[in-house]
Structure 1
Amino acid sequence: MTALQSTTLDANTQRIAPFKMAHVVYRCADRKSMVEWYCKMFQARLVFEDDVLAFITYDDEHHRLAFFNMPELPKKNDNMVGVHHIAYSYQTIAELLGTYERLKGVDILPSWAINHGPTTSLYYRDPEGNDIELQVDNFADPADAAAVFKSEIFKQNPIGVEFDADALVAKWHTGASDDELCALGTCATGESLGPQFR
């Protein structure tokens, strides 16, 4: 029995799960730049700040992100254990591409643009080296997205196909449908793996 199988609930066990993820907290050497970057990223507002902590939110939650002021900490490097990235979902491909355009206008560009199959995703790196993913589901029905994981295409390429974000935006502005924009291979660059997955 695998570890995953041993934690699977049986038919007589009730699952009690959180109803939402509330917030993420960062320890920051340069808190000011982090708060400014995330406020731009999410069009967020500052709700609290003192010498130790800053809280921001982008919706009706009292805080979605918190930042500890810890200037004595060393810089993060890629050769350490920890969270790889945090993903945020948008409702439509138009919201995702509109966000890409808005962020490009303030010189925030993705480090990676890839269609994973189940999602179309833009990865960004914050000022202290943390990665976040902005994504949209490529299928209206979650069952269709789940089916991708069992497909031969996913078996052959579980990472996905990189795309040119500007080309996808141009296709969006010419009236391409959501299905066309979210199709695997649309505006492909010819690459399939990002550096963080190699």
Structure 2
Amino acid sequence: METAYKIPAAARIGHVHLKVSDLKRSLAFYCDLLGFEFMMHYGEEAAFISAGGYHHHIGLNTWHSKGAPPAPREGVGLYHLAILYPTRKDLALIYKRLRDAKYTHIGASDHGVSEALYLRDPDDNGIELYWDKPREQWPRLADGSLTMYTKPLDLEDLLKEAE
């Protein structure tokens, strides 16, 4: 019997391209507020941004969306993109930055395996900013399978990490 193919454990999602309506506005959000590094323009309708100088983690383009309204939430498409922060302190620092910038539309959850902030970009694309808890702290059932949940994240406790 042939075994089912499994993607290599070291595989990662390398980048995402987002259709946006206003490239300049999106660059301001992702670079000026969230801190991504501008890498390059691709013509006048696209730009690539990254964390740490990688060629790009996010491509922003207006190829089919310049001036368009946000996609309806009830339709198919990307629910959110998730940006993994290396430590809880890093998540705390971006939360403090968002709060200091008076960015008010932030959701926050503890999922047992991770802690996450949820927001929307200027085109209403969903964004999850999160950090993974150490694997040995992940909640598991007796059989070893994960048991994730959604509980409120204590934002005041998270902010203590930013000090």
TM-score interval w.r.t. the shorter chain? 0.7 to 0.9
Q: Deviations for 1:96-132, whole angstroms, at most 9, x for unmatched residues? A: 1112112222233452111111111111111111111
Select the structure of larger CA radius of gyration. Answer: 1
- How far does residue 159 in structure 1 lie from its aligned partner after superposition? 3.9
From 81, 105, 115, the counterpart of 1:86: 81
TM-score by length of 1: 0.66
Alignment of 1:65-104 (within 5 A): 65-69=58-62, 70-104=65-99
TM-score by length of 2: 0.78
Kept in 1, the 8 Å contact 2:96–2:162? The answer is: no
From 18, 33, 36, the counterpart of 1:26: 18
Kept in 2, the 8 Å contact 1:89–1:134? The answer is: yes
Q: Distance in 2 between matches of 1:101 and 1:68?
A: 29
* Corresponding residue number in structure 2 for 1:133: 128
Identical residues among aligned pairs (%) = 25
Give the number of equivalent residue pairs: 159
Does the C-alpha gap of structure 1 residues 113 and 73 become closer, same or farther in structure 2, counting only changes over 3 Å? same
Larger helix fraction of residues: 1
Q: Distance in 2 between matches of 1:136 and 1:119?
A: 6
Which shows bigger deviation, 63-72 or 77-86? 63-72
Q: Which runs of 5+ in 1 are unaligned?
A: 1-8, 175-198
* Corresponding residue number in structure 1 for 2:157: 168
Does the C-alpha gap of structure 1 residues 170 and 126 become closer, same or farther in structure 2, counting only changes over 3 Å? closer
Does the C-alpha gap of structure 1 residues 110 and 134 become closer, same or farther in structure 2, counting only changes over 3 Å? farther
SS at match of 1:147: coil
* Corresponding residue number in structure 2 for 1:62: 55
Does the C-alpha gap of structure 1 residues 138 and 80 become closer, same or farther in structure 2, counting only changes over 3 Å? same
Kept in 1, the 8 Å contact 2:15–2:57? The answer is: yes
Q: Which runs of 5+ in 2 are unaligned?
A: none
Kept in 2, the 8 Å contact 1:40–1:103? The answer is: no
* Corresponding residue number in structure 1 for 2:112: 117
Does the C-alpha gap of structure 1 residues 18 and 111 become closer, same or farther in structure 2, counting only changes over 3 Å? same
Does the C-alpha gap of structure 1 residues 72 and 99 become closer, same or farther in structure 2, counting only changes over 3 Å? closer
Query: What is the CA RMSD across the aligned residues, in angstroms?
Result: 3.2
Does the C-alpha gap of structure 1 residues 150 and 107 become closer, same or farther in structure 2, counting only changes over 3 Å? farther
SS at match of 2:95: helix
Q: Does 1:147 align with 2:140?
A: yes
Q: Deviations for 1:119-167, whole angstroms, at most 9, x for unmatched residues? A: 11111111111111111222343xx52626978xx4xxx54111342x2
